[in-house]
Structure 1
Amino acid sequence: MISAQVWADAQRLWDFQQMGHEPRPCSVAIGLGSHDLGVADATADLYRRGLMPLIVFTGATSRTTRDRMPRGEAEHYRERAMELGVPASAILVEPRARNTGENIRFSRTLLGEQGVPASSVLLISKPYEERRAYATARKLWPEVEWISASTPMTLTGYVGSIGDARLVLDMLVGAHQRLMIYPQRGFMIEQHIPDDVGAAYERLCDAGFTSRLVPDNPEAK
């Protein structure tokens, strides 16, 4: 049973991850691979709204996706987007990335190889990783303008869609930890973290939502 305090603390982290950007037309979209096909759904919706002419889906597999997405996250995203009406000609697949940094770097390389100029990018992630994705992208590709986007939904709605509250809270805590430690490792830009958000994170760690924390290893990503 998850307590009211845990839910309140999770809500603080969830709200902080939301960048509040208004989606607008961009040169290209990058959909970050994960366990959540909702990223592909959100990307397809933005495409249908005419906000970008081209999509890059990026991602290999991870411990949470290898069984559900055996052909790779990016490939499953591509298939989902096509089911939703996005033409194959509007999708590039980057199948090697295994972390957010690689998502950005490999997508940038792919676009360069394809001769696609990018001055602005719609960066589409899970709702609880908007800020983490944005901070990583700003660090690794500072020349472009980044607009963060995700499926608009509440924390409780997202948990219901995934069907596993502990998984969502563990990953929410892990995403926040990276905001704290990755700037010092050169993986993302630094952002101010309000005291109440930091306190909520600490309480969630104390409550045991720690399975997605990275080890105390400067090489870990």
Structure 2
Amino acid sequence: MISTESWADAHRLWDFHQMHHEPRPCSVAIGLGSHDLGVADAAVELYKRGMMPLIVFTGATSSTTRERMPRGEAVHYSERALELGVPSSDVLVEPNARNTGENIRLSKALLEESGANVSSVLLISKPYEERRAYATARKLWPEVEIVSASTPMTFDDYVDSIGDAHLVLDMLVGALQRLLIYPEQGFMVSQSVPEDVMAAYERLRSAGFTSRLVPDDAGTRH
């Protein structure tokens, strides 16, 4: 049973993890691979609104996606986009990335190889990964403008879609921990965290929402 205080703290983290950018036209969209096909759906919706002429889907497989997406996250994302009407000529697939840093580096390399002229990127992720993805992209690709996007939904709706509230709170805590420790390891730019968000994070850690934490010296997992 999740307490009222923990639920309120989770709402604080959820809101902070989103960048609250207004989608606007960009050179390209990059859809970051995960278990959530909603990333592909969000990319298609933005494409149909004319926000970008080209989509890169990036991601291999992980322990959480291997069974659901055996051909790889980017491949399944691209298949979803084609099913929803995006022409294959407007979709690139980067099938090898296994973390957020590789998502950015390998997508950048693929776009360079394709001859795309990129000055701005619509970076599409799960809602609670917006800030982490943004901070990573700013570190690894500072010369382009980054606009964050995800499926518009409330925290409660997202929990319902996952079906495991404890896991979602674990993921919110783990994502914030990475924002705190990865800048020192060179994986992303540093961002200030408001005091109320830090307090909520510490309370959730103390309450046991820790399954997605990494050791503070884990310099290889990002």
What TM-score comes out, normalization by structure 2 length?
A: 0.97
Cα drift, residue 220 of structure 1: 2.9
Q: Which amino acid aligns with 2:120?
A: S
> Could you tell me which residue of structure 2 aligns to residue 219 of structure 1?
220
> In structure 2, what is the Cα distance between the partners aligned to 1:180 and 1:93?
31
> In structure 2, what is the Cα distance between the partners aligned to 1:147 and 1:220?
24
> In structure 1, what is the Cα distance between the partners aligned to 2:112 and 2:6?
44
> In structure 2, what is the Cα distance between the partners aligned to 1:60 and 1:170?
23
> In structure 2, what is the Cα distance between the partners aligned to 1:205 and 1:29?
34
Q: Which amino acid aligns with 1:14?
A: W
> Could you tell me which residue of structure 2 aligns to residue 102 of structure 1?
102
> Could you tell me which residue of structure 1 aligns to residue 31 of structure 2?
31
Which runs of 5 or more residues in structure 1 are unaligned? Answer: none
> In structure 1, what is the Cα distance between the partners aligned to 2:59 and 2:164?
22
**1:36-55 residue pairs with structure 2 within 5 A?**
36-55=36-55
> In structure 2, what is the Cα distance between the partners aligned to 1:220 and 1:62?
13
CA RMSD in angstroms comes to 0.9
Task: Say if 2:19 is the partner of 1:19.
Answer: yes
**SS of 1:160 mapped into structure 2:** helix
Which runs of 5 or more residues in structure 2 are unaligned? Answer: none
> Could you tell me which residue of structure 2 aligns to residue 81 of structure 1?
81
**1:157-176 residue pairs with structure 2 within 5 A?**
157-176=157-176
> In structure 1, what is the Cα distance between the partners aligned to 2:73 and 2:173?
22
Q: Which amino acid aligns with 1:17?
A: H
**SS of 2:182 mapped into structure 1:** helix
Q: Which amino acid aligns with 2:70?
A: P
Q: Among the aligned pairs, what percent are the same residue? A: 76
1:46-104: per-residue Cα shift (whole Å, max 9, x none)? 00001100000000111111111111000111111111111111110000101100000
> Could you tell me which residue of structure 2 aligns to residue 130 of structure 1?
130
Task: Say if 2:108 is the partner of 1:140.
Answer: no
